[in-house]
Amino acid sequence: MEIFGVDIGGSGIKGAPVDLDRGELAQERHKVLTPHPATPEGVAGGVAEVVGHFGWHGPVGITFPGVVTDGITRTAANVEKAWIDTDARALLSDRIGQPVTILNDADAAGIAEMTFGAGRGRKGTVIMLTLGTGIGSAVFIDGRLVPNTELGHLELHGHDAEKRASTKAKEDEDLSWPHWAHRVQKYLVHVEMLFSPELFIIGGGVSRKAEKFLPLIEHVRAEVVPAELQNNAGIVGAAMAAAGK
């Protein structure tokens, strides 16, 4: 069974048909740059371009970097503020001419990892963290998602944690891997103090380079592992949501 998934990020919009039996992309993904400013109309155009690249007809799952409730986008930390309280499901469905399911991007990535990746079969509290333009989070209790947690906005040393420990912070401040890993470690220790998870899954594009920073992280009791689906997790999870999985 194939369903189309799209992952809207702060820097890029990427998508592909997904084989839901295997939890893998059925074709090589197509990516366009996220417009700046990332207005609803501009991003909708990017989504339409990605879906149109494949000539796709049928349900489409779409992730959004913020809180989503019943198709309405409620926050917009890393996109244009005009997204706040926008009926994103209606906007995107109208633009691409297909039925749309929309959900938080980290929730989508977490759903995929819990089904096909590093969280498969894990009980207790599992927290997926996506490190990118910001920090997304997905919290699972015995495999059940607690939707729309925004743990990237926890305060750490007087700042939003994502302003200190995201991949964007590493790039903007030209931090070395050890320096950045120390910041990520402080963040994980803080989250662990609040939630006591058994497992942290680290996703986002930087998960491809997990060997450069995860071995440097200490003082975290929970197991810390990279996402197995790496940066395709959001696309897979979006497709799963559109299929009602």
Report the alpha-carbon angle 150-156-157, nearest 5.
160
Query: What confidence score (pLDDT) does residue 245 get?
Result: 87
Whole-angstrom CA distances from 144 to 34, 86, 110, 140 are 31, 27, 10, 5
Q: Check pLDDT > 90 for residue 60.
A: yes
Query: What confidence score (pLDDT) does residue 51 get?
Result: 98
Query: In terms of CATH architecture, what is 121-228?
Result: 2-Layer Sandwich (3.30)
Query: What confidence score (pLDDT) does residue 217 get?
Result: 97
In the numeric block, which tokens belong to residue 22? 């295997």
Confidence band, pLDDT 50/70/90 cuts, at residue 31:
very high
CATH topology of domain 2-107+233-242: Nucleotidyltransferase; domain 5 (3.30.420)
Strand-pair partners of 2: 19
Q: Check pLDDT > 90 for residue 119.
A: yes
Q: Check pLDDT > 90 for residue 157.
A: no
Q: What is the widest separation between alpha-carbon atoms in the chain?
A: 50
Place of tokens 């897979």: 236
pTM of the model: 0.95
Neighbours of 104 (CB within 10 A): 29
Amino acid present at 107:
D
Confidence band, pLDDT 50/70/90 cuts, at residue 206:
very high
In the numeric block, which tokens belong to residue 149? 């947690």
Output phi, psi for 113, to 5 deg: -65, -35
Query: What confidence score (pLDDT) does residue 78 get?
Result: 86
Q: For residue 107, what is the enclosing H or E element? A: helix 105-116
CA–CA distance, 107 with 140 (Å, rounded to integer)? 9
DSSP 129: E
CA–CA distance, 47 with 33 (Å, rounded to integer)? 10
Q: For residue 63, what is the enclosing H or E element? A: strand 60-64
Q: For residue 145, what is the enclosing H or E element? A: strand 144-146
* CATH 3.30.420.40 domain span(s) along the chain: 2-107+233-242, 121-228
